[in-house]
Amino acid sequence: MDSSLPQPLAGAVSIDGARLWASLMELAEIGRTPKGGVCRLALSALDAQARRLVVAWGQAEGLRITVDAIGNIFMRRPGRDDSLLPVLTGSHIDTQPTGGKFDGNFGVLAGLEVVRSLNAHSIETEAPIEVVIWTNEEGSRFVPVMMGSGVFANAFSLESAYAARDAAGRSVQEELEAIGFRGSESPGHHPVGAYFEAHIEQGPVLEAAACTIGVVTGVLGLRWYDCTVVGMEAHAGPTPMAARQDALQVALPIMRSVVELALAHSPHGRGTVGSVQVFPNSRNVIPGSVTFSIDLRHAEPETLDAMEGALNRCIEEARRSSGLSITLKEVSAFPPSRFDPECVRLIEKASAKRGYPHMNVVSGAGHDAVYLARVAPAAMVFIPCKDGISHNEIEDARPEHLEAGCNVLLDAILARAGVSGPLR
Amino acid sequence: MDSSLPQPLAGAVSIDGARLWASLMELAEIGRTPKGGVCRLALSALDAQARRLVVAWGQAEGLRITVDAIGNIFMRRPGRDDSLLPVLTGSHIDTQPTGGKFDGNFGVLAGLEVVRSLNAHSIETEAPIEVVIWTNEEGSRFVPVMMGSGVFANAFSLESAYAARDAAGRSVQEELEAIGFRGSESPGHHPVGAYFEAHIEQGPVLEAAACTIGVVTGVLGLRWYDCTVVGMEAHAGPTPMAARQDALQVALPIMRSVVELALAHSPHGRGTVGSVQVFPNSRNVIPGSVTFSIDLRHAEPETLDAMEGALNRCIEEARRSSGLSITLKEVSAFPPSRFDPECVRLIEKASAKRGYPHMNVVSGAGHDAVYLARVAPAAMVFIPCKDGISHNEIEDARPEHLEAGCNVLLDAILARAGVSGPLR
């Protein structure tokens, strides 16, 4: 469908960066924290308030609103041929407890800004365009993460999502009803022609490379494990070194290997031990057991397999040399996802035509686009964020980068939806 | 004074192992836990009940009771020449929250059993003998540990000990008064000619060597530190390995070095990382900071200095290669203590005469005897405990070992106090 885009169009119409920025700042007032971040947990009263604001903005642009049973919101701008599959764009507006103004919000408001710009320029597209807000991407209050898009892509059932409860015991179903966003549409029965999502990078690569646009070719696969080493707690004083079964000391080389095997698979390998629990965790007691998390990521499933194999060999060696019990339990896994080459090419082409410094990147973090890619051609546009910091109240992004990302989104959507208005 | 002991005496009179065992079991009923251990925290109602029981046993043997201002209890059996400095023996009867029947209690009741045996055999000693119960050795409810003997030896002030509060906010002074054991005697103004303490080993060395008696020549010095590495928390996914400041990974070689430098100073070197706190301790966040404890022990102060030096070099190397901030803060320190050679020789001699398999050992854990050694000639007798396990409800010791340790204590006390009765 890309060929339907006349060459002169790219860059011929642009979005309004100031309007985008103003909307981002207005939305960030809802749940604003003293440090300038945002705390707007999924399905909270603040989430409802933010949803109503964005829906009102959509209605002001003439968009038709539908809500599905997991609370995903679709705001539709009709196409000239409204029977064509719609081009969807969006992200999420729930945040981490100590979240920023841009994570997710940028993708939703960039989609809205594309519509506002098309309206302002009276541009009609062949296919419809829909701006979507996915429910509970962050997973801070209810697990799993990416809940709305996950149910939409049938990665797990609506019933299991409904049953998830927060720390206070409230369920997703109760809270969806309480805030008035449990819709009637059956999730996944909503047609999608293609999906584009704009997002801040949440990492330092673009900033370090002085690139304005990251053309996201895919998302790293990840495997999460819990590793537990069981030794024997004993007094730190009377127990000679040779008589010890120190669980922490046996765990150390495994923790180190997690990073080493990621380094061995540069540049897309990632290895992190983020969480450590020592028992009994007392200054003068030799650790009796240690449990720690392992997070492995890579772009290729075969390499993830190889990394897991190397991890298991390291554990086997530790088991053999220490005689201690060591278990490795897989907690979660996402296969690597590769975005649709044609959608990716549209983003790359738009970046080039606009003259934005750009590079191909692989996302290290999961996004709603990962699930959407299971049901439709999909791709993502990244823009830099300051120092690569996200999920933090000091998360920041530059207005000119947000504007550039939104322009690339506009071009890609127009190319995919096809233009039938005055620009044709 | 050893020379005053006629050679035939050693082994000529023995303690009553069954009576010792029965008293240990009766005392263990006070605070007994469902798993067969004892929970009798310092200055609790249960501690008071146990103190009253032991005092009643002492009074039944004609002992004169005095209590000092920190609650240490002295039970005195007069000597033929009562102006001589008394030989003290004892330990503590407070326990860990999940303590056993023998830790501390053995030392107190072994002292009582020595007195009972002397009375039963109508043996008079030249110097007086006193059985002592030291307040709050464990430090589980009130810190510091070894509080009663520490105040006695003027290691810290009575006022600072009085001011210590438990988790519920109750002070040592309040609780001493509440249980009726705030005495009038000024701590440290109590004369001591010598001090002997019998104790379970709380480690695996004697059992492994099939020895009945450990002749304790001294106690390892210890140094406690907190080490903190500060990096930068970041997402485990989007952050490339090369861009990370992973505090945990920088901490790993330091944690390892703690054990390596103890191994380099065998057999008396000890190195333990017992406690680890990772921030924010989240599965998919690169650790931003890590704080961990370091426990170093050795019998020689110069070697402790060398171990600390090696630790600092390792930290300097980690600082240099990572660029991260790493701090090492000393939390506490005890110098190594060497027991009085003459007192140690009495214990060794008694073990040999009795034909008990014995060996010289250095205690890895602190005991009240460490403070007593600052004010008087002191030594300790160790006996094995099952699997070296202590501070645990499954702590166990064999009746024949308890009996043997008590016999050695008897012989050492008689040798030190001198005998003037029918055995002379």
Domain CATH number, residue B40:
3.40.630.10
CA distance A162 to A158: 6
- CA separation for the pair A186, A158 (Å, rounded): 9
- B-chain CB neighbours of A237 within 8 Å are 202-203, 220, 222, 270, 295, 297, 363-366
Task: State both tokens at A401.
Answer: 């980068």
- Cβ of A138 under 8 Å from any chain B Cβ? no
Contacts of B285 in chain A (CB under 8 A): 272, 274, 391
- Which residues contact residue B97 at a Cβ distance below 8 angstroms, ignoring those fewer than 6 apart? B39, B41, B140
Residue B5: per-residue pLDDT: 43
Distance from CA of A330 to the nearest CA of B (A): 13
Q: Which of B334, B359, B388 is the last residue of a domain?
A: B334
Identify which of A239, A256, A389 has the shortest CB distance to residue B388: A239
Same domain as A353, residue A328: no
Is the domain of A258 the same as that of A280? Answer: yes
- Shared domain for A313 and A389, answered yes or no, is no
CA B234 to chain A, closest CA, distance in angstroms equals: 7
Q: Does A151 touch chain B (CB under 8 A)?
A: no
Residue A274 has its nearest CB partner, among B270, B275, B282, at B282
Least CA distance to B250: which residue of chain A? A256
Tell me if A109 is assigned to some domain.
Answer: yes
Whether A3 shows a pLDDT value over 50: the answer reads: no
Q: Identify the domain boundary among A288, A309, A334.
A: A334
- Tell me how long chain A is: 424
The answer to whether residue B165 is domain-embedded is yes
Is residue A400 domain-shared with residue A270, that is, in the same domain? no
Assess if residue A394 is contained within a domain.
yes
Report how many domains make up chain A.
Answer: 2
Ordered DSSP codes for A228-247: EEE-B-EETTTS-GGG-B-H
Cross-chain Cβ contact B259/A282 below 8 Å: no
Do A213 and A227 sit in the same domain of this protein? no
Q: Would you give the DSSP letter of residue B125?
A: B
Instruction: Judge if B322 and B361 occupy the same domain.
Output: no
Q: What is the full DSSP assignment across A77-113?
A: E--SSTTSPPEEEEE-----TTB-SSTTHHHHHHHHH
Residues 235-254 in A contacting B (C-alpha not used; CB under 8 Å): 235-243, 246, 248-249, 252
The tokens for A11 are 């860059």
Assigned domain for A38 exists: yes
B contact test, residue of A146, A225, A232, A235 with most B CBs within 10 A: A235
Per-residue pLDDT band for A364 (boundaries 50, 70, 90) equals very high
Both A198 and A229 in one domain: the answer is: no
pLDDT value at position A4?
A: 44
- Test the A interface: residue of B98, B233, B241, B383 with most A CBs within 10 Å: B241
Mean pLDDT of A394-402: 96
Nearest to B394 by CA among B129, B152, B200, B253: B200
B270 inside domain: yes
Decide the pairing of beta strands A337-338 and A213-219.
antiparallel
Reported as a single tens digit per residue, the pLDDT across A140-156 is: 899 999 999 999 999 99
CA dist., res. A192 & res. A134, Å (int): 14
How far does Cα B84 stand from its chain's mean position? 28
For residue B347, what pLDDT is reported?
A: 98
CA A200/CA A204 separation, integer angstroms: 11
How many interchain CB pairs under 8 A, A with B? 196
Chosen from A96, A283, A285, A386 to mutate, greatest number of chain B CBs within 10 A: A283
Secondary structure percentages of chain A, helix, strand, coil, to 5: 35, 25, 40
What is the domain-level CATH number for residue A231?
3.30.70.360
Shared domain for B325 and B396, answered yes or no, is: no
Say if A27 falls within a structural domain: yes
Answer yes or no: is pLDDT of A2 > 50.
no
The answer to whether residue B234 neighbours chain A at the CB level (below 8 Å) is yes
Tokens 């180190």 identify what position? A256
Same domain, B74 and B211: yes
C-alpha span between A143 and B310 (Å, rounded) = 46
**What pLDDT is stored for residue B391 in this prediction?**
87
From chain B, the residues in CB contact with A297 under 8 A are: 236-237
Of A267, A273, A293, the CB nearest to B240: A267
State the DSSP code for B11: T
pLDDT of residue A10: 52
Q: What is the pLDDT of residues A103-140, one digit of tens each?
A: 999 999 999 999 999 999 999 999 999 999 999 999 98
pLDDT given for residue A1 in this prediction? 37
Cβ separation of B255 and A249 shorter than 8 Å?
yes
Q: How confident is the model at residue A98 (pLDDT cuts 50, 70, 90)?
A: confident
Confidence (pLDDT) at A7: 42
Say whether B249 and A263 touch across the interface (CB within 8 A).
no
ipTM of the complex: 0.88
- Which residues does A181 contact at the CB level (< 8 Å), separation at least 6? A43, A48, A51, A67, A71, A73, A135
Q: Best of B102, B259, B273 to disrupt the A interface by mutation (most A CBs within 10 Å)? A: B273
Q: What pLDDT is attached to residue A391?
A: 87
Same domain as A317, residue A201: no
Q: Which residues of B touch A204 (CB under 8 A)?
A: 234, 238-240, 243
Distance from CA of A57 to the nearest CA of B (A): 32
DSSP secondary structure, B188-235, as one string: T-S--SEEEEEEE--SSHHHHHT-SEEEEEEE-EEEEEEEEEE-B-EE
Residue B106 falls in which region: left (phi positive, over 0), alpha (psi -120 to 50) or beta: alpha
Q: Kindly state the average pLDDT of the residues A178-204.
A: 96
CB neighbour class for B242 (10 Å; exposed up to 12, middle 13-18, buried from 19): exposed
Which residues does chain B have within 8 Å of residue A289's beta carbon, measured at their own beta carbons? none
| A283:B274 CB<8 A | yes
- The predicted pLDDT at position A424 comes to 44
Cβ–Cβ of A255/B259 closer than 8 Å? no
- A13 and A136 housed in the same domain: yes
Whether the Cβ atoms of residue A126 and residue A420 lie closer than 8 Å to each other: yes
- In contact, B52 and B44? CB cutoff 8 Å: no
Residue at B8 is within a domain = yes
Compare CB distances from A274 to B202, B262, B286 and report the shortest one's residue.
Answer: B286
Whether A202 sits inside 8 A of B235 (CB atoms) is: yes
Q: CB distance B364–A239 less than 8 Å?
A: yes
Indicate the residue among A301, A334, A367 that finishes a domain. Answer: A334
Comparing CB atoms, the residue among A283, A284, A388 nearest residue B239 is: A388
| Chain B interface includes A289 (CB < 8 A) | no
User: What single-letter amino acid sits at A287?
Assistant: P
Give dist(CA A199, CA A108) in Å, integer.
9
- Rounded to an integer, what distance in angstroms lies between the CA atom of residue A91 and that of residue A376? 15
Identify the domain containing residue B353 by its residue range. Answer: 2-219+336-417
Q: Is residue A424 included in any domain, yes or no?
A: no
* Average pLDDT value for chain A: 95
Q: Which residue of A has its CA nearest to B204?
A: A239
Does B364 contact A270 at a Cβ distance shorter than 8 Å? no
Chain B (312-351) residues lying within 8 Å, Cβ to Cβ, of chain A: 331
If you average pLDDT over residues A241-260, what whole number do you get?
97
| Closest residue by Cα to residue A51 from A119, A132, A170, A129 | A132
Interface of B with A in 198-227 (CB under 8 A): 201-205, 208, 220, 222, 224
Rounded to an integer, the average pLDDT of A321-344 is 96
Q: Is B121 helix (H, G, I), strand (E, B) or coil?
A: coil
SS3 state of residue B321: helix
Residues with Cβ within 8 Å of A283's Cβ and at least 6 positions away in sequence, in order, are: A236, B224, B274, B275, B293, B295, B331
Structure tokens given for B253: 């070689």
Ranges in chain B, pLDDT < 70: 1-11, 421-424
Q: Give the helix ranges, DSSP H, for A139-246.
A: 147-152, 158-163, 172-178, 205-208
Same domain (yes/no): B99, B160:
yes
